[in-house]
Amino acid sequence: MAYQSINPFNGELLKSFDQLTDAQMESAVARADNTFHDVWSKTTFRDRAKVVGRATSLMLERKENLARLAALEMGKRISEGRDEVAMSAAIFQYFADRAEEFLAPQRIATAMGEAHLESSPLGVLVGVQPWNFPYFQLARFAAPNLMAGNVLLVKHSSSVPQCALAFQQLFTDAGAPNGVYTNLFVSSDQVGRLLDDPRTKGVALTGSVQAGESLASRAGKNLKRSTMELGGSDAFVVLEDCDLEFAVKMAVLGRMGNAGQTCIGAKRFIVVGSRTEQFLNAFRDALAQLKPGDPLDESTTLGPLSSETALELLLKQVREAVAHGARVFTGGDRIGHLGTFMQPTILTDVTPENPAFRQEFFGPVALFFPAKDEEQAIALANNSPFGLGGSVYTSDIEHGKRVASRIETGMVFVNYPFISAPELPFGGIKRSGYGKELSSLGIQEFVNRKLICAMKPQTAALPLAA
């Protein structure tokens, strides 16, 4: 597997990095395991928080350079990169401040003596992370698990190696002991062997369904914990009472952020009632205002896709959808020949028999569905193999919350395409995966919630149940 920085705006090869040998990987695992047992698991919450807090400050100090790296390696617009760095730093600080509270011993009322749950780290964890949010994805994995006392081996995407190294450098410069956070330039086969190694205790993946099937199976075979965030095809449901201008504004934000390369981005647009044509025309006109260009240019409003491979896949999906009866309402092709730009695209007439109906389009392609009433809209929203997020648009918040309760996903938002904050749990159901990141739930995925129950000696001779 080649680890290369290729600028998607112009195709320039920036840097290449060698894949680790098996011997180098073994050395990294041994170092991480030793660091966990000898140092990090014995480090207090307060001292862990000092390291993570310093990493927070360093990330903010280096915001511009980190955002520039993301623009160069995967095409993220510079303003979006700054926002991502700020959110990642907020996640660091949140868990530095709250981890001890979240993992404090929890008393249990019982007639069987004095009982409580206490939390302890598991050990060496493996993280496999994608390119589309090269810092945010790492922060969601790293901050809670490092604060819980685990140590991390991280395989980042092969297309963002400089972002991966820059993230690791934050912890090095923050004073983290060697082996607490280790970036690994390894292959998929080597990741599998990491999961077979008894020194590793779990794996967290954000990636494709195919990668999730492979790693979840490997983790299950080894009886190790796993969390899987495998993407989605979120429904964007516009109810009849919603202001149309507002809905269109949110539609552009929800589909075109990060050039459409967002797991939790709005992808299936479902409009209830008689205003479908009006919405379609306004959505098309709004998309036409986007300005493709260099992601380092502040005036650019549509960046390139991350790679030529990503663009070719998206174009293939569009062609296949059309071959099965879909109609290209707008867009449908690449923009020019320099850079990996895709026209903002809307597909209509996508029937359940069309392969596109059940696919995730990871780029600026929107699928549009009219719904005669609210019941049909909810049925369409739920008719998907994915279940990550979704959103509902209405002037009646309480009504919107009732509709949201009926949508079968891990997250639903009312009057906004997606909201991510350190205190809000993130995760999906169905083929979008399982497990939670962020919030008090995320920090408990990879800890041992151990029961301790104590009885006075004179009352201990009680019958036991197996």
DSSP string, 232-251: --EEEEE-TTS-HHHHHHHH
Same-domain status, 208 and 292: no
Contacts of residue 4, Cβ cutoff 8 Å, sequence gap at least 6: 13, 14, 15, 16, 17, 158, 159, 161
Same-domain status, 174 and 243: no
Catalytic residue (choose from 80, 242, 263, 445): 263
The CB density around residue 332, as the number of other CB atoms within 10 Å, is: 20
> What is the signed CA dihedral for 51, 57, 60, 66, rounded to 10 degrees?
-40
Q: What is the pTM of this model?
A: 0.96
Same-domain status, 314 and 188: no
Q: What CA–CA distance (Å, rounded) separates 108 from 461?
A: 21
pLDDT score recorded for residue 466: 52
Q: What CA–CA distance (Å, rounded) separates 255 from 273?
A: 22
In a domain, 84, yes or no: yes
pLDDT score recorded for residue 462: 56
In a domain, 448, yes or no: yes
Same-domain status, 245 and 218: no
| Count of domains observed in the chain | 2
Same-domain status, 39 and 148: yes
Give the pairing of strands 13-17 and 3-6: antiparallel
Asked whether the beta carbons of 346 and 280 are under 8 A apart, the reply is yes
- Going by pLDDT thresholds of 50, 70 and 90, the confidence category of residue 456 is confident
When pLDDT is averaged across residues 160-169 and rounded to a whole number, the result is 98
Give the pairing of strands 13-17 and 433-434: unpaired
| DSSP assignment of 133-145 | STTHHHHHHHHHH
In a domain, 203, yes or no: yes
| DSSP assignment of 261-318 | --TTSEEEEEEESS-HHHHHHHHHHHHTT--B--TTSTT--BPPPS-HHHHHHHHHHH
Same-domain status, 180 and 276: no
In a domain, 425, yes or no: no
What one-character DSSP code corresponds to residue 88?
Answer: H
pLDDT score recorded for residue 337: 82
In a domain, 316, yes or no: yes
Residue 364 scores a pLDDT above 60: yes
User: What is the residue range of 446's domain?
Assistant: 3-230+432-452
Same-domain status, 213 and 75: yes
| Token couple for 253 | 């934000």
The CB density around residue 194, as the number of other CB atoms within 10 Å, is: 22
In a domain, 341, yes or no: yes
In a domain, 367, yes or no: yes
Catalytic residue (choose from 73, 80, 84, 229): 229
| Encoded amino acid at 35, one letter | T
The CB density around residue 3, as the number of other CB atoms within 10 Å, is: 22
Q: What CA–CA distance (Å, rounded) separates 340 from 84?
A: 22
**CATH code at position 20:** 3.40.605.10
Same-domain status, 222 and 253: no
453 annotated active-site = no
Label residues 64-91 b or e (16+ Cβ within 10 Å = b). Answer: eebbbbbbbbbbbbbebbbbbbebbbbb
Same-domain status, 177 and 312: no
| 287-332 pLDDT tens trace | 999 999 999 999 999 999 999 999 999 999 999 999 999 999 999 9
| 74-118 pLDDT tens trace | 999 999 999 999 999 999 999 999 999 999 999 999 998 899 999
73 annotated active-site = no
Asked whether the beta carbons of 91 and 438 are under 8 A apart, the reply is yes
**CATH code at position 255:** 3.40.309.10
Q: What CA–CA distance (Å, rounded) separates 402 from 245?
A: 23
When pLDDT is averaged across residues 183-190 and rounded to a whole number, the result is 97
pLDDT score recorded for residue 338: 86
Residue 347 scores a pLDDT above 70: yes
| Encoded amino acid at 447, one letter | V
| 219-232 pLDDT tens trace | 999 999 999 999 89
Residue 465 scores a pLDDT above 70: no
Same-domain status, 63 and 92: yes
> What is the signed CA dihedral for 71, 77, 80, 86, rounded to 10 degrees?
30
When pLDDT is averaged across residues 403-410 and rounded to a whole number, the result is 98
Q: What CA–CA distance (Å, rounded) separates 21 from 190?
A: 9
In a domain, 419, yes or no: no
Q: What CA–CA distance (Å, rounded) separates 291 from 288?
A: 8
Same-domain status, 192 and 248: no
Element (H, E) at 400: helix 397-405
Q: What CA–CA distance (Å, rounded) separates 215 from 212?
A: 5
Q: What CA–CA distance (Å, rounded) separates 292 from 210?
A: 31
Burial class, 382, CB count within 10 angstroms (exposed 0-12 / middle 13-18 / buried 19+): middle
Same-domain status, 400 and 377: yes
